[in-house]
Amino acid sequence: MATRYIPLFLKHSPTPRVQSFALLAGMEATVRGTLISAMPLAVYDALGSAEGTSAAYFAAGLVSLIWGLFVPWGTRFIPRRWMYSLGCGLYLGGMVLAILGQTWSLPLALMMLAMATATTFVCLNAYVLDYIDRQNLGRNQSMQMVFAAGPWAVGPLFGVWLRSVWAPLPFLVAGAFAIALLTVFWILRLGNGKQITRAKGPAANPLAYLGRFFRQPRLIAGWLFAVVRSCGWWVYVVYLPIFCVESGLGDKVGGMALSVSNSLLFASPFILRLVRRHSVRTGVRTAFAACSALFLAAALVSPLPWLTVAACMAASVLLVTLDVVGGLPFLMAVKPSERTEMSAVYSSFRDVSGILTPGAAWMVLLIAPLPGIFAAAAAAMGACWYIAGRLHPRLGVMRPSRGKP
């Protein structure tokens, strides 16, 4: 009889809502935002060159890509709630290695932090696809951006300032945020998600579902958009601060630029509404075209460093637009029975871009100065503008007869 007086939310797990996933995205943004400007500078100081920094990020991206593809396979043996918790634990391990500040420990810290991001991202996207219906995916995406806007706006400059006070301090603060993320996750009680089993059972290994991915052109296009968009952010986050240091602007300009750019995430709902008035294809193509032009301008005006910073900051406006709508072609095409597997494929865009960007940067630096990296980013954005022309003209447009996309 005493159970009659137990509150309902303690007896039954509440159904997760858009706000639940947005809160997790915002909490993780506090971890990553604090490190996003401090980490490249720490690696650059430890290794002594842009080439060494590129090599460290290349290795971290390669490890994270392999790890991320194995996450769905791992969830067959480890419940999703524990897999997400493992991701938070990897964050903490990466902080410990970064605090050591050694030439050998910082590349290992990069790897561990990248693995943590891949793990939490795969799990979060699987939860989203479990509980958020198709017509609300865009709202979920923009809501996550809004919740993450504050941490991403304040975090980069905050992390650089903490590093100026004491080198290990950004990692100690980010570690505290990682503990808070894990706490919030368990308070939300997301469990292991919905269990949907196909007639033939799940894939036996993490490579089996790649064949299904490559047979769906819309998934491939959506994934490519995410890869190139992420490459743009890598250039902005890693190589713009290095450019500022080498051009004599100091080590704080890059962090300030990133903080200002990330404040645009508050405009995510407005950007989504604007795009939905036309179509996802129009929004994606316009953003890629403008971003390509601005990165090219950044390379051409590099003898005037402040103009390069301004052009990159303008390009970041379009990168935010792509953050809001660039993933919708992929997410809208995922089958319910492939949520976890395709979440892993989609999340690999971070790792692939983490491999492509430093790898391409290393090759560019063999024949050109650092601004050549901005020109390479412009070429990649232009290629995506062309590919986006093959999307359905009315993708994402509200249907008057049904009231949904």
Model confidence at 383: pLDDT above 90: yes
| Among 68-82, 123-137, 191-205, 226-240, the least confident range | 191-205
User: Quick check: helix, strand or coil at residue 404?
Assistant: strand
Cα-based angle 359, 362, 366 (whole degrees, multiple of 5) = 145
8 Å CB contact between 41 and 252: no
Tell me if the domain spanning 17-193+207-388 has CATH number 3.60.9.10.
Answer: no
Model confidence at 401: pLDDT above 50: no
Model confidence at 399: pLDDT above 60: no
175 Ramachandran zone, left/alpha/beta (phi>0; psi -120 to 50): alpha
Model confidence at 358: pLDDT above 80: yes
Residue 399's φ and ψ, nearest 5 degrees, are -90, 120
Residue type, 236: Y
pLDDT at 280: 74
The CA distances from residue 26 to 29, 206, 315, 316, 378, in Å, are 5, 29, 23, 19, 29
- Short-list 252, 236, 120, CA closest to 177: 120
pLDDT level of residue 2 (50, 70, 90 thresholds): very low
Residues sharing a CB contact under 8 Å with residue 219, sequence separation 6 or more, in sequence order: 213, 330, 333, 334, 342, 345
**Residue 404: beta bridge partners?**
399
Per-position DSSP letters for 18-86, written without gaps between them: HHHHHHHHHHHHHHHHHHTTHHHHHHHHHH-SHHHHHHHHHHHHHHHHHHHHHHHHHTTTS-HHHHHHH
Give mean pLDDT, residues 196-202.
43
Query: Could you report the per-residue pLDDT of 214-227, keeping only the tens digit for each?
Result: 777 878 888 898 89
Residue type, 275: V
Model confidence at 198: pLDDT above 50: no
pLDDT at 340: 62
pLDDT level of residue 242 (50, 70, 90 thresholds): confident
Task: Read off the pTM.
Answer: 0.71
pLDDT level of residue 395 (50, 70, 90 thresholds): low
pLDDT level of residue 36 (50, 70, 90 thresholds): confident
Query: Could you report the per-residue pLDDT of 324-342, keeping only the tens digit for each?
Result: 777 777 776 677 666 666 7
pLDDT at 402: 46
Q: What is the CA radius of gyration of the chain?
A: 21
Model confidence at 239: pLDDT above 60: yes
pLDDT at 405: 47
State the sign of the Cα–Cα–Cα–Cα dihedral 143, 147, 148, 150: positive
Model confidence at 212: pLDDT above 90: no
| Among 138-147, 230-239, 352-361, 386-395, the least confident range | 386-395
Tokens of 152: 């991403």
Distance between CA atoms of 32 and 35, rounded to whole angstroms? 5
User: Quick check: helix, strand or coil at residue 399?
Assistant: strand
State the sign of the Cα–Cα–Cα–Cα dihedral 289, 137, 231, 386: negative
Model confidence at 171: pLDDT above 90: yes
Residue 197's φ and ψ, nearest 5 degrees, are -115, 130
Distance between CA atoms of 143 and 370, rounded to whole angstroms? 36
Model confidence at 185: pLDDT above 70: yes
